[in-house]
A and B are shown apart, each in its own frame.
Chain A
C-alpha cells in the first residue's frame, strides 16, 4: 500500500465505540447464506464446527463402546459376531483417538486461543478452514466405510503383519491408514496455526510470563503434534505402499521388519497420549484459577512441567513394546524414563492442590469435573507406574488391566477436564449458562459410572482376561465383573445423554450469561458472549498475568488499527511489543475446494496408484486458486 493510501486509511482511533463496533462487524462477519457458511474463515465459526463434529464422533464412538459392553456383559453372548466385534473395537479406538480426543482439544484451541491472547483471528485462517474440512471428510470416510462393512478390523494400531495384504486382503486396513492421513494433515495444520498465533499475535504486553496456562498447554501440544504426527504419517503411508505397490517396508522375508511398524507407530502413539492429556491440564489450570478465586500456584513450575512432559513423552515409546523380545536391559532403561515422566505430572498435581488449599473454592460443575479429574488421573497414573515396570507389564500385557489403565488416564486425564471445560466455556460460546442442576447430576453419574465401568477391569486383567476377545466361556469366572462393568458403562453413557440434553436445552433456554459470568481473569471474558466477529472492538493491552482481576472493566487498549480491512497486530516473541499491522485473509471457498481435491486424491490412492497422478492436477488448481492475488484489501502490504 502506498504511503498516501495508508495515511488516508480509516483507523479505529477516529471512530467512537458504537461506530467502530458496527464498522468492524461489517468487515469481519462471515457472509450470509450457504456459500458464505462454506467460505467462513472465522476461527470461532470453524472452532464451533470442529467442537460439534468431534462431539458427534464421541457419540458414535460411545455407542460402539456400549455395544461392546452389551456383548461382554455375559459369557458366550451372541449379540455381536466376532467379525463385527473386531470392526467395532477398531472403530471405537480409532474414532476416539483420531476423530475425537485430538481434534476436540485442537478445536477448543482454535476457538479460545485467539480470544485468550487478545487477537481478532487465528493465524492462517484459510488453513484453519481447510483443516476442518479435511478432518470432517476423513471422519466421514471412516464411518461411511464402516457402514458399508469395510470398517477397519485390525485394532487402532493396525499392527503388521496382521494388517498386511497377506493376512488382511480386504480394503479395511487401507481405510484405517488413509483416515490417519486425513486427520494428521488436519492436526498438523492446526498446530502450525496455534504456534504462530501464540508467538506472533499476542496482545501488546502479554509477555511470555503472562500467557494464560491453557494457551501454554496448547502451545506445547502444538509442538508435540509437529514432532509426533510425521511419524504416523510415514507409517500409514508406507503401510498403504506395502499393500498397494508391494514396497515391503514391513516384510521380513524381503529385508523389511514388522517391528519397524511398532517403533514408528509408538513413537507417535505415546506422545499422542500427552497430545490429549496436556490440553486437559491446561483446561484444569484455567478452571481451577477461576473457581479457587486465585491464580494457579507455581505458574513457572506448571509451565516447566508442561514442557518437560512434552519432551519426555518422546522417550517412552518402547514401554508399549516390552513383550516384543527387545533386550531386557534396554527395556529397563525405558522403564526408568517412563517413571521419570511421573515427576512433572506430579508437580502439576501439587500445584493444583496448593491452589485449592490456598484459594476460596466455589464448587460449581466445572470445578467438580476438575476434582473428578484429579482423583481418576492419579489412579491412572499409579497403574501407569505399575505397567512401566517390565516384569508387571509382561504379566498384564494385552489384558484388561491395560484397558483399565489407559481409560483411567485418557478419560480421567482428558474427558473429565473437557466436560468441565464445556460447562466453563459454554456461556462464552453461546451466551447462555448450562443448567447447574443437570450439571451436578451429569458429574456424579459420570464419576460413579466411570469407576464402576473401569475399576473392575483391573481385576479382570489380573485374573487373566485378555483384551479384544469378543466373548468368553462361563467357566472363566469373569461374568460377574463383566456384568458390573457393563452396568457402569450404561450409567456412564447416561451421564453423556444428560450432557447432551443440557446443551440442547440450555442453548435455547439457558440463563443469559453476560460477558464474564464466572468472574474469570483471562481475556476471552473481556468481550461479549458470544464474541462478535471481530472478537474485540479495540485490542487490549495486558499489564498483568490476570488482566481482568487486575484491571477490571477498564482494560487499556491499543489504537491505530485499520477500520477498513481485516487487520491483526503482530507483536514480538518474548516481550509482545507491537511490530506490524498485518492483513488477515477474507472468506474463501478455496480451502473447501482444496480439501475436496485432496479427499479425492487420498481415497483414490488406496484403490490405484494412478490416483496419485490424476489426483494431483485438481489439488494444484485448488492451491493456485487459493493463493491467486485478488486485488482485495488483504493483498495490500
Chain B
C-alpha cells in the first residue's frame, strides 16, 4: 500500500471513526463535568457537546469529500467490491447519526439545570 493509498483509506474511514469517538468523549465528558458544572457555569457541558457534534459532522464532511472525489459511480453499482467507498458512505451516515445523538444530549444540558439532582 502506497502512502497515498493509506491516506485516502484513512479519509474513507474518517466518518466511521470520528462520529462514535466524538460521542464517546461527549458521554464521558458529561459525566466528568456534571460534578463541576453546577459550581462554575452551566454552559461548559453545552460548549463541549456543541464542539463534539461539529467534530462528528466533520467526519461526515471528510467521508463525503472522499466519496465524491474517488468513487461516485460505485454508489450506484450493484456489483460491489469497493469496501473503502462503502465504508466512506457508512461514515457519511454515521457522522450525521452521532451528531444527532450528541445534539440530543446537548439539548439536555441546555434545558436541565446542572444543579438539579
Q: Which residues of chain A have a CB within 8 Å of any CB of chain B?
A: 205, 207-210, 295, 299-301, 303-304, 307-308, 311-312, 315, 327, 329-330, 333, 336-337, 340, 543-546, 550, 574-575
Given contacts A333-B104, A333-B107, contact A295 B78 (CB under 8 A): yes
Docked-complex contact A544 and B93, CB < 8 angstroms: no
Give me the interface of B with A, judged by CB distance under 8 Å: 75, 78-87, 89-90, 93-94, 97, 100-101, 104, 107-108, 111-112, 116
The answer to whether A575 touches B83, judged by C-beta atoms less than 8 angstroms apart, is yes
Task: List the A residue with the shortest CB-CB distance to B116.
Answer: A327
Check if A304 sits within 8 Å of B94, measured CB to CB. yes
CB <8 Å contact, B80 and A210:
yes
Question: A300's closest neighbor in chain B, by CB?
Answer: B89
Say what secondary structure dominates the interface of chain A.
helix
Tell which of B90, B101, B107 touches A315, judged by Cβ atoms closer than 8 Å: B101
Interface hub of B89, B97, B101, B108 (most chain A Cβ within 10 A): B97
CB of B74 to closest CB in A, whole Å: 8
B81 in complex: contacting residue of A209, A312, A327, A333, CB < 8 Å: A209
A546 to B80, CA, bound (A): 9
Contact A574 to B87, CB < 8 A, known contacts A207-B82, A340-B104: yes
In the complex, what residues of B have CB within 8 A of residue A208's CB? 83, 86-87
* B111 contacts across to A, CB distance below 8 A: 329, 333
Complex contact A340–B107 (CB within 8 A): no
Q: Known A329-B112, A333-B107, A336-B107; judge A209-B94 contact (CB<8 A).
A: no
The B interface, classified by DSSP as helix, strand, loop or mixed, is helix
List A contacts of B87 (CB < 8 A).
208, 574
Chain A residues whose C-beta falls within 8 Å of the C-beta of B86 in the assembled complex: 207-209, 300
C-alpha spacing A351/B108, complex, angstroms: 33
In the bound complex, CA of A311 to CA of B90 (Å)? 14
Whole-angstrom distance from the CB of A428 to the nearest CB of chain B?
Answer: 23
Chain A nearest CB: distance from B73 CB in Å?
13
Closest A residue to B20 using CB positions: A311
The answer to whether A544 touches B80, judged by C-beta atoms less than 8 angstroms apart, is yes
> For residue B78, which residues in chain A have a CB less than 8 angstroms away from its CB?
295, 299, 544-546
- Knowing that A207-B83, A308-B93, A330-B112 touch, tell me 19 more A-B residue pairs with CB under 8 angstroms: A207-B80, A209-B85, A210-B80, A210-B81, A299-B80, A300-B75, A300-B86, A304-B93, A304-B94, A315-B101, A327-B112, A329-B108, A336-B104, A336-B107, A340-B104, A543-B79, A545-B79, A546-B78, A574-B87
Shortest CB distance B34–A (Å): 13
Nearest Cβ distance between residue B10 and chain A, in whole angstroms? 13
Query: Which A residues are in CB contact (< 8 Å) with B81?
Result: 205, 207, 209-210, 543-544
Assembly CA distance A342 to B95 (angstroms) = 18
**CB <8 Å contact, B79 and A550:** yes
24 residue pairs A–B, Cβ–Cβ below 8 Å: A207-B80, A207-B81, A207-B82, A208-B83, A209-B80, A209-B81, A209-B85, A209-B86, A300-B89, A300-B93, A304-B90, A308-B93, A308-B94, A312-B97, A315-B104, A329-B111, A329-B112, A330-B108, A333-B107, A336-B104, A544-B81, A545-B79, A574-B87, A575-B83
B89 to chain A, nearest CB (A): 5
Q: Tell me the minimal C-beta distance from B117 to chain A in angstroms.
A: 10
Contacts of A337 in B (CB 8 A): 101, 104
Q: Which residues on the A side are within 8 Å of B107 (C-beta)?
A: 333, 336
Which chain A residue lies CB-closest to B79? A544
The distance from the CB of B76 to the nearest CB of chain A, in whole angstroms, is 10
A210→B75 CA distance, assembly (Å) = 13
Q: Give complex CA distance A205, B81 in Å.
A: 7
A303 touches B80 (CB 8 A): no
Greatest chain A CB density within 10 A among B81, B93, B116 is at B81
Q: Which residues of A contact B79 (CB under 8 A)?
A: 543-545, 550
Asked if residues A307 and B82 are in contact (CB atoms below 8 Å), the reply is no
Cα distance A363–B83 in the bound complex, in angstroms: 34
When C-beta atoms are compared, the residue in chain A nearest to B16 turns out to be A307
CA distance A593 to B101 in the complex (A): 46
Contact yes or no, A307 B84, CB < 8 A: no
B75 cross-chain contacts in A, Cβ below 8 A: 300
Tell me if A311 and B97 are in contact (CB < 8 A): yes
Chain B residues with CB under 8 Å of A333's CB are 104, 107-108, 111
Complex CA–CA separation, A545 to B79 (angstroms): 5
Closest chain A CB from B99 CB (angstroms): 12
Nearest chain B CB to A365 CB, angstrom units: 26
Beta-carbon nearest neighbor of A344 in chain B: B97
CB distance from A493 to the nearest CB of B (A): 41
Nearest CB in chain B to that of A297: its residue:
B78
The closest CB in chain B to the CB of A305 belongs to B93
Cβ–Cβ < 8 Å partners of A300 in chain B: 75, 86, 89-90, 93
User: Which residues of chain B are near A207, meaning CB under 8 Å?
Assistant: 80-83, 86
In whole angstroms, how far apart are the Cα atoms of A493 and B17 in the complex? 48
Q: Which 4 A-B pairs have the closest CB atoms?
A: A209-B86, A210-B80, A545-B80, A304-B93
Give Cα A329–Cα B112 distance, bound, in whole angstroms: 7
Closest A residue to B88 using CB positions: A300
Chain B residues contacting A308 (CB-CB under 8 Å) are 93-94, 97
Q: Which B residues are in CB contact (< 8 Å) with A544?
A: 78-81
B residues in contact with A205, CB < 8 Å: 81
A312-B101 contact in complex given A210-B80, A544-B79, C-beta closer than 8 Å: yes
Chain A residues whose CB sits within 8 angstroms of the CB of B83 once the complex forms: 207-209, 574-575
Contacts of B93 in A (CB 8 A): 300-301, 304, 308
Q: From known contacts A210-B81, A544-B79, infer whether A303 and B90 are also in contact, taking CB-CB under 8 Å.
A: yes
B51 to chain A, nearest CB (A): 20
Nearest opposing residue in chain B for A209, CB measure: B86
Residues of chain B within 8 A (CB-CB) of A340 are 100, 104
The chain A residue sitting closest to B101, CB to CB, is: A315
A contact residues around B90 at 8 Å (CB)? 300, 303-304, 307
Question: What residues of chain A lie closer than 8 Å to B112, measured between beta carbons?
Answer: 327, 329-330
